[in-house]
Structure 1
Amino acid sequence: MAMKDMLRMTAHRMPDKTALIMEEKTLTYDQLNCRVNRLAHAMLDLSFQKGDRVAVLTHNCIEYYEIYLALIKIGGVMVPFNNLLREQELHRDFTYIEPRFIFFQAEFADTVDKVMGEIPSLETGICIGDVSSPQHKNYELLFEGQSEDEPDVQVKDDDLMSIFLTSGTTGKPKGVMRTHRHNYLNAHAAAIELSLRPDDRVMLLFPFYHVTFEDRFCHILRGNTIVLRREGGFRAAEALELLSRHRITVCQFVPTMINTLLQEKSFEKYDLSDLRLILYAAAPMPVNLLKESLIRFKNTGFMQFFGQTETGPMTTVLPPEEHIVDTEIGVQRLASCGRSALHFEARMVDENDQEIPRGEVGELTVRGECVTTGYWHLPEETNKLLRGGWLHTGDYAKQDEDGFIYIVDRKNDMIISGGKNIYPREVEEVLYMHPSVLEATVIGIPDNHWGESVKAIVVLKEGMTATDKELIAFCKENLASYKKPSSVDFREALPKSPAGKILKRVLRDDYWREQDRKV
């Protein structure tokens, strides 16, 4: 089966099954497939050519699914754009990607109007909602008079299916290319790793422009019901209410979201008895938080997966049966990101790309049929990423004798103080053990004597207190002395990306701004 056949076959098996729910709007699999086919034919009528790149600038919505699935059937290349980007940033990224079409929601019309006039490749704008300009097409009007038959376009497994722009937190965004085969194998692996059942009901919380969206094609493959929520600030009570009302069985969070849920005073009043699996990814889960989560979410299994836009992103998996809190080895493995997922293999290498013995720290490299084919129009970056046939993740990690992988830190997050390597995650794990700490992150800051010193930035739990000296002493009790923070700052909140990751770059900028170096 190919990606272009996935929706058709699911609709054939279970036409009346609810596919998508967003607020009061629902579509069955048959209704979704019919609308997708009509949209695909409409695109062909607009002179769409296989391989055309199509920009999408929307909030999370049902239309996003329709657009993506239609492009899959006619060989289009989906390019989701972060809806938080400003005009200048969009201009930069459109110039790089050169899309022919753009789908956008009406609230972005002014920005699209300005950018379209400056990007020669952008020929057609399609507006979801009231059309503000006569030059744009109306999304719903495209469906009128179009056939519900499957479009007759030959799409191959190695055809390009999507380009996801990396976040750009460390530099200019790069377009990660993903093929139809890549995405089908990823969906197949995820359905198996998650043990998905046809009656699963899934809620999606992340922005659809994030690569985690493509991990969720496994739910179309399995015929699950998918509940959508407009992205934005995460509100614990709202999330708990949706989990309860829709009897959600599978949901993905980042650790900061789980921490917020556990702090919600009304947590116990919600019926979460149908929730059988919580996925967590995108950032390390402190072991203490994970142990508390396993207790509070009583009959819910937890699964961690690790990956990157370039790798899958489901690259390693720590399944529910490996979440063990009553043995020493079980607790130790909670700090790992599991073992290689289906279709992947991993190894650690030194700076010369030589494999190192298990137990030693090196760069995590992976290979398999789900990894990216490279970066759009960036051959040098692609060769660097995929040198030697292995994808270089930029993460420091070690692997134990049983194959469990422990992410030590990002290469560019490591602190070098007085010639010693200090991995922030190790210090953060200890800070999360302190009963007063709600959130913590650790960065290196300029130090004239040591080069860098360790700075902890902490958010305390409501009603709790702690001093900087107390937290430094706590770390010294649990770590080698050279790893302890030299200083601690307290904040009301930590800056986070839309996907929930703590933005260390933003925090670092406050301390390195006046320096002539960044490390």
Structure 2
Amino acid sequence: MMETIMPNWLMRRAELTPDRTAFETDRETVSFRTLFQMVTDIARELRSIGVRENDKVALLSESSLELVGFYHAISGAGAVSVPLNNRLSPEEAAWQLRDCGARWLICDQAFLPLAQMIVDRTPCTLLTMAEVHDQPKTSCGLNSAFDLNKPCTIIYTSGTTGHPKGVVLTYGNHWWSAAGSVLNLGLREDDKWLCCVPLFHVSGLSILMKNVIYGMTVVLSGKFNPHAANRQICANGVTMMSVVANMLRRMLDDAGAEGYPGTFRCMLLGGGPAPLPLLNRCKEKRIPVFQTYGLTETASQTATLPPEYMFTKIGSAGKPLFPAEIRIVTDGKAMRPNQPGEIIVRGLNVTPGYWGRRDATERAIKGGWLYTGDIGYLDQEGFLYILDRRQDLIISGGENVYPAEVESTLLGHPAVEEAGVIGVADETWGEVPYAFVVIKKGLVFSEKELLNYCRRRLAGYKLPVRIQPLERLPRNASRKLLRRKLVDFLPKTFAPRNDF
């Protein structure tokens, strides 16, 4: 493969706009010049401890400016970052480090106890960030250029079945993801992107890439708080934000009757099909929501609703970003408009494959197309609509039932705060939907009322066989619903599907 060389992004950004604000946190504001100096020092410290070209360096940390510095420094040293989900068990995290052959695990003080349990299970050198800073600095700083074909990060998928897979994302994947996004959403001189999503997730990591490529200020928050997020938008000039549906719902509840200022121009909504009642609430308040579709394998977004369609194509994830293509297929055959099938994508933002998993790569990528496992359709104008994950699809008596559709219906009821739907085994129909709900504080759960509500809005085969209340629904660190975890709450009289 021919080398494609590009200047180090942070180094070039610090040359172009050194005094522009790079990051705002609760404690400090730093310019791109300051960020570059910090990253250069960390890279020299990493080289001092022995980090070399192509080494895999795992990171376990809260979202912080220091973590941002380590990401850029690892790249600048020619190594590969392996972000660890800080909610993993020690064995889960150790498995990932063994799988990718990580030589180093660097953690912050908050996660040192977990990190120590991880290295007890894998041959890996553990250092805290403070210990790295105590090292002498070598004279060799940042690499001045990136090869776009080389791995930048390895991000492990959530592993819904079996062990997770390490998604290799090259510098080119990250570059074209950022380029495709800005060509769709545009860029303003006063843009500020509020980052409340985890930096170990591709959504958060993609914001760090946009930061240095665009020269855009990022307001970095360690944790999501709906009131604090609304305050950043209303009082601190935040113009853009990435959310999943549960985050957006909580922000709307906190805002009450108040709206957002006209300077706020983009609520980027990902993480799966968006409930229509939620989108309609945003439409009533004239909140500019852009539904987006992406995966770890596509370095975040691969389709996003264009701004001019935010109210006329409500519910759509938009069209493919500039460097990407999307098709809908079933058994390799292209589907006509409005016919559902598997979403496949192709483009320069798509991973070259899974680390050390040739078999999985060959199953997922065929003829240059990534088979996503997601179900959706393209309308007559080429707008993408996401229905559900293929693995979550419920087939009841030969009919397809999309859990997201049933969840969206339940969320339309004024008493329902959250909803999750899975398939359970049924002797007559093969499988049927089973629903879980969280009821809003101060309201009363009535299964009969909710079933009647659904019966008026859904076909009979989509009707849940039961609706069960829970105090909270299981979600991952990115606040996506974990349907497979709902199986743990099933009564013993209901058997889950075989594939759970």
- With normalisation by structure 2, the TM-score equals 0.92
User: 1:112 & 1:488 partners in 2: Cα distance?
Assistant: 40
SS at match of 1:172: coil
8 A Cα contact 1:3 1:184, kept in partner: no
Deviates more, 1:238-247 or 1:497-506: 238-247
SS at match of 2:298: coil
Aligned residue in 1 for 2:276: 287
User: 1:48 & 1:179 partners in 2: Cα distance?
Assistant: 19
SS at match of 1:502: coil
- Offset at 1:16? 1.5
Structure 1 letter corresponding to 2:364: L
Deviates more, 1:308-317 or 1:353-362: 353-362
- Offset at 1:146? 5.4
Aligned residue in 2 for 1:345: 325
Among candidates 304, 311, 334, match of residue 298 of structure 2: 311
Q: Unpaired runs of 5+ in structure 1? A: 130-137, 325-329
- Offset at 1:247? 2.1
- Offset at 1:4? 5.0
SS at match of 2:317: coil
The answer on 1:229 being equivalent to 2:229 is no
Q: How does 1:315-330 map to 2 (within 5 A)?
A: 315-324=302-311, 330=312
Aligned residue in 1 for 2:367: 388
Shift in alpha-carbon separation, 1:517–1:462, aligned structure 2, 3 A: closer
For each residue in 1:401-426, what CA deviation from the matched residue of structure 2 results, as whole angstroms up to 9, or x when unmatched?
11011112111111122232211222
Q: How does 1:95-134 map to 2 (within 5 A)?
A: 95-120=98-123, 122-123=124-125, 125-129=126-130
Question: How large is the RMSD of aligned CA atoms in angstroms?
Answer: 2.3
The answer on 1:476 being equivalent to 2:455 is yes
User: 2:301 & 2:449 partners in 1: Cα distance?
Assistant: 39
Corresponding residue pairs, total: 494
Aligned residue in 1 for 2:174: 183
Among candidates 83, 86, 101, match of residue 83 of structure 1: 86
SS at match of 2:316: coil
Deviates more, 1:486-495 or 1:26-35: 486-495
User: 2:416 & 2:72 partners in 1: Cα distance?
Assistant: 44
Q: How does 1:508-519 map to 2 (within 5 A)?
A: 508-511=487-490, 515=495, 518-519=498-499
8 A Cα contact 2:487 2:496, kept in partner: no
Aligned residue in 2 for 1:418: 397
SS at match of 1:139: helix
Shift in alpha-carbon separation, 1:338–1:271, aligned structure 2, 3 A: closer
Among candidates 315, 318, 335, match of residue 315 of structure 2: 335
- Offset at 1:394? 0.3
- Offset at 1:474? 2.2
SS at match of 1:359: coil
- Offset at 1:475? 2.1
- With normalisation by structure 1, the TM-score equals 0.89
For each residue in 1:159-188, what CA deviation from the matched residue of structure 2 results, as whole angstroms up to 9, or x when unmatched?
111100001233211100011111111112
Q: Unpaired runs of 5+ in structure 2? A: none
The answer on 1:163 being equivalent to 2:164 is no
For each residue in 1:452-480, what CA deviation from the matched residue of structure 2 results, as whole angstroms up to 9, or x when unmatched?
22212222333444622222222222222
8 A Cα contact 1:446 1:452, kept in partner: yes
Aligned residue in 2 for 1:6: 9
8 A Cα contact 1:74 1:153, kept in partner: no
Identity of aligned residues (%): 31
For each residue in 1:129-185, what CA deviation from the matched residue of structure 2 results, as whole angstroms up to 9, or x when unmatched?
4xxxxxxxx13334x6555x8635664111111100001233211100011111111
- Offset at 1:396? 1.3
User: 1:306 & 1:335 partners in 2: Cα distance?
Assistant: 11
8 A Cα contact 2:55 2:80, kept in partner: yes
The answer on 1:437 being equivalent to 2:424 is no
8 A Cα contact 1:160 1:178, kept in partner: yes
- Offset at 1:112? 2.8
- Offset at 1:117? 4.7
Structure 1 letter corresponding to 2:471: E
The answer on 1:62 being equivalent to 2:65 is yes
User: 2:278 & 2:119 partners in 1: Cα distance?
Assistant: 47
- Offset at 1:515? 4.6
- Offset at 1:267? 4.2
- Offset at 1:81? 0.4
8 A Cα contact 1:446 1:511, kept in partner: no
The answer on 1:360 being equivalent to 2:339 is yes
- Offset at 1:285? 1.4
